[in-house]
């Protein structure tokens, strides 16, 4: 076996293990000491395969129960490797460290926090070299595009600080690159059909501007995964032609979705909550929902348990959206999608957003244009749609300019029409008759009630 000379067991079964206070030999990184994980792609001659180096005290030299800095610098080489794969590989560091029985890895990037438990230490896990060897083995097994890999651990305070600083720069660089990469810049989008396991008609279209709606898979992730496992759940979607720029309709996406949904869906608009909207499976993090009363879009996520101005909770709304259906007006999204420059582009983007829970607003505040921040209402102000409307009006939210006004002339026509029907009014027919849409008709009914024409 590849892990023969490692004194503890290695495997996915250990992923869930927790090492509690009092059970650990040493603690690395975390809140009390600097720590970071960084993966870099290098030239073949720059990486010595299998090399593990520890700069600073090793586990055996550390004081029992102590906390030490932890910088993990992983260099890899391989013909098919490129910069964009770095973050994908890096993300697995968490999982693979956890595969080691007696090691616990929490958080990511410069917040990593590791514990090595007493038992593992007693079994002989007294050196980070062992951790390094296990990691190299695991990475190479899982990702066959990695040909060479070497790992350097920094437990020396200054050296670790150094790595943390360098890592932060690189994270920022990467994030910037990801931010700057858009649908126009790439040839392929990616699809994910993992959720078909539960929602057989659903296909996720993932683009540089649209993260999967569970929030777990970015375009980079999907690309990397599709590359290593060509017959796996992630597949490239040659994007084809952009037949409808406004809505984000691509011929490639349509074809892929048609094929993979067994013909149930054949037309997808990527950036809208209306009509041919992207399907939603069941594990979307949040929903964007259209509220006709204010002609705006609300956002609600799973962590918000109260009612929305739509009159119902996340659960109820979600119940209407899921299952791989295209439901006009309710769209499953990842919270991260709110940061996308193409976020609901067809509908007016962030300018169309009128309401969201406070915690989301805080989380994405940097992605909301300054002049809009105070215009978007949260549950702290109201969850009542009528109040919301007043609030939007007084805050001068851009949607208020779109509002439909009930004129006296319209009221007259409406009353005539209602009379002519003898009282049996079907909203769709009435709207058509009056030359307005159904939502507007609803506005009208409301106005009629206000004016006491209707009881």
Partner 1 sequence: MESRNVRLDRLEKGGLQVEGLELTVGDIEREELWDEPAGPYHLPGIKDLRRWDHLLLGRYDSSYEPTRDVCDLCTFGPCDLTDGKKSACGLDISGQTARMNLLTTVMGAAAHLSHAREIVEHVIEKFGPDVEIDMGSKNDVEAPMVRVIAGTIPETVGDLLPVVEYCEEEMNHLTSATSTMQEGSPLEFDSKSLHAGMMDNLALEIADIAQISAFDMPRGDEDAPLAEIGMGTMDPEKPVVLAIGHNVAPGTSIIDYMVENGLEEEVEVGAVCCNAHDMTRINPHVNVVGALSKQVKYIRTGAPDVVVIDEQCIRADVLEECRKVGARLVACSGQAVHELQDVSDRDPGDIVEMMVDGEDGVFLPEIEKVGEVAIETARSVYEDRLGRKAIPEVDELQGIIDSCTECGRCDRACPEFLPITDAMVDGMEENGGDWSGLEELWDRCVGCTRCDEVCPVMDPMSVQETASEHRWKTERNVVRTGRGPINDTEIRNVGAPIVLGEIPGVVAFVGCDNYPDGGRSVAEVIRDLAERNYIVLTSGCSAMTAGDHTFEDGQTVYEMFDGRFDKGCVSNVGSCVANAHIVDAALKIANLFANVPLRDNFEEVSDYVLHRIGAVGVCWGVYHQKALAIANGAKRWGIPVVQGPHGVKFRRQELGRPDLDERWVVNDANRDYEEVQIEPAPEHLGYSAESIEEMAVMAVKLCMRPNDTRQGRMIKLTNYIDLYRKYFDEYPSDLARFVRHEKEVPLTEREEVMEVLEDRGWEPRETPNPTMLREEDRLI
When the beta carbons of 166 and 267 are compared against partner 1, the nearer one is: 267
Q: Which stretch binds partner 1 (CB under 8 A): 46-54, 162-170, 195-203, 348-356?
A: 195-203
Q: How far is CA 43 from the centre of its chain?
A: 32
From residue 24 to residue 63, the character string flagging contacts with partner 1 as x (rule: CB under 8 A) and all else as - is ----------------------------------------
When the beta carbons of 181 and 214 are compared against partner 1, the nearer one is: 214
Terminal-residue alpha carbon distance, the chain: 80
186 binds partner 1 (CB under 8 A): no
Strand partners, 104: 115
When the beta carbons of 10 and 54 are compared against partner 1, the nearer one is: 10
Q: Of the candidates 108, 320, 381, 400, which one interacts with partner 1 according to CB under 8 A?
A: 320
Q: For residue 63, what is the DSSP state?
A: P
d(CA 351, CA 370): 11
138 binds partner 1 (CB under 8 A): yes
Show the tokens assigned to 141: 């097994």
When the beta carbons of 301 and 391 are compared against partner 1, the nearer one is: 301
Q: How many residues bind partner 1 (CB under 8 A)?
A: 78
200 binds partner 1 (CB under 8 A): yes
20 binds partner 1 (CB under 8 A): yes
Q: Of the candidates 5, 22, 370, 401, which one interacts with partner 1 according to CB under 8 A?
A: 22
Q: What are phi and psi of 19, to 5 degrees?
A: -115, 115
| 16 Cβ neighbours under 8 A, 6+ residues apart | none
User: Does an H or E element contain 373, and which?
Assistant: helix 370-373
Residue 10 C-beta: closest distance to partner 1, Å: 5
Give the SS3 label for residue 217: coil
156 in Cβ contact with 62 (< 8 Å): no
Tell me which residues in 327-356 interact with partner 1 (CB under 8 A).
327-330
Give the SS3 label for residue 77: strand
Residue 427 C-beta: closest distance to partner 1, Å: 6
Show the tokens assigned to 18: 């927790």
Tell me which residues in 254-273 interact with partner 1 (CB under 8 A).
262
Show the tokens assigned to 390: 């007043």
Q: Of the candidates 43, 180, 305, 365, which one interacts with partner 1 according to CB under 8 A?
A: 305
370 binds partner 1 (CB under 8 A): no
323 binds partner 1 (CB under 8 A): yes
Residue 373 C-beta: closest distance to partner 1, Å: 27
When the beta carbons of 176 and 453 are compared against partner 1, the nearer one is: 453
447 binds partner 1 (CB under 8 A): no
When the beta carbons of 143 and 160 are compared against partner 1, the nearer one is: 143
Residue 363 C-beta: closest distance to partner 1, Å: 17
d(CA 360, CA 365): 8
Q: Of the candidates 28, 54, 281, 344, which one interacts with partner 1 according to CB under 8 A?
A: 281
DSSP labels, 377-441:
B-TTT---HHHHHHHHHHHT-GGGGG-----HHHHHHHHHHHHHHTT---HHHHHHHHTS-HHHH
Q: How far is CA 314 from the centre of its chain?
A: 17
Residue 33 C-beta: closest distance to partner 1, Å: 25
Show the tokens assigned to 206: 């993932």
286's torsion region: left (phi>0), alpha (psi -120 to 50) or beta?
Answer: beta
């Amino acid at each position: 076996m590849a892990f023969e000379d490692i004194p503890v067991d290695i495997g996915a079964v250990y992923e869930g293990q927790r090492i509690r206070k009092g059970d650990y030999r040493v603690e690395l990184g975390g809140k009390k000491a600097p720590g970071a994980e960084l993966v870099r792609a290098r030239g073949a001659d720059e990486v010595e395969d299998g090399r593990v180096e520890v700069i600073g005290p090793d586990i055996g030299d550390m004081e029992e129960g102590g906390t030490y800095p932890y910088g993990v610098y992983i260099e890899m080489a391989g013909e098919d490797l490129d910069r964009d794969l770095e973050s994908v590989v890096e993300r697995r560091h968490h999982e693979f460290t956890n595969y080691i029985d007696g090691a616990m890895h929490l958080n990511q990037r410069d917040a990593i926090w590791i514990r090595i438990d007493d038992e593992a230490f007693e079994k002989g896990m007294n050196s980070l070299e062992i951790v390094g060897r296990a990691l190299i083995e695991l990475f190479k097994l899982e990702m066959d595009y990695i040909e060479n890999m070497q790992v350097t651990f920094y437990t020396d305070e200054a050296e670790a600080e150094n790595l943390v600083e360098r890592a932060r720069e690189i994270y920022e660089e990467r994030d910037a690159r990801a931010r700057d990469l858009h649908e126009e810049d790439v040839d392929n989008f990616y699809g994910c059909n993992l959720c078909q396991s539960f929602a057989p008609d659903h296909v996720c279209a993932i683009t540089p501007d649209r993260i999967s709606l569970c929030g777990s898979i970015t375009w980079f992730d999907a690309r990397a995964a599709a590359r290593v496992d060509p017959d796996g759940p992630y597949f490239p979607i040659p994007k084809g032609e952009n037949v409808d720029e406004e809505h984000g309709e691509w011929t490639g996406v349509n074809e892929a979705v048609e094929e993979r949904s067994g013909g149930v869906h054949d037309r997808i608009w990527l950036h809208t909550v209306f009509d041919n909207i992207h399907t939603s499976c069941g594990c979307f993090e949040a929903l964007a929902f259209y509220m006709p009363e204010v002609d705006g879009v609300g956002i609600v996520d799973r962590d918000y348990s109260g009612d929305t101005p739509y009159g119902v909770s996340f659960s109820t709304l979600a119940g209407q959206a899921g299952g791989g259906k295209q439901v006009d007006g309710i769209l499953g999204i990842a919270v991260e999608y709110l940061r996308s420059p193409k976020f609901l582009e067809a509908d007016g983007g962030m300018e169309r957003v009128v309401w969201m829970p406070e915690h989301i607003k805080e989380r994405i505040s940097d992605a909301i244009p300054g002049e809009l921040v105070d215009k978007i209402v949260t549950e702290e102000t109201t969850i009542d749609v009528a109040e919301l409307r007043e609030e939007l009006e007084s805050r001068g939210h851009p949607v208020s300019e779109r509002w439909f006004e009930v004129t006296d002339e319209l009221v007259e026509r409406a009353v005539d029409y209602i009379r002519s029907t003898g009282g049996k009014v079907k909203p769709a027919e009435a709207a058509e008759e009056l030359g307005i849409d159904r939502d507007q008709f609803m506005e009208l009914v409301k106005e009629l009630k206000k004016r006491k024409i209707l009881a």
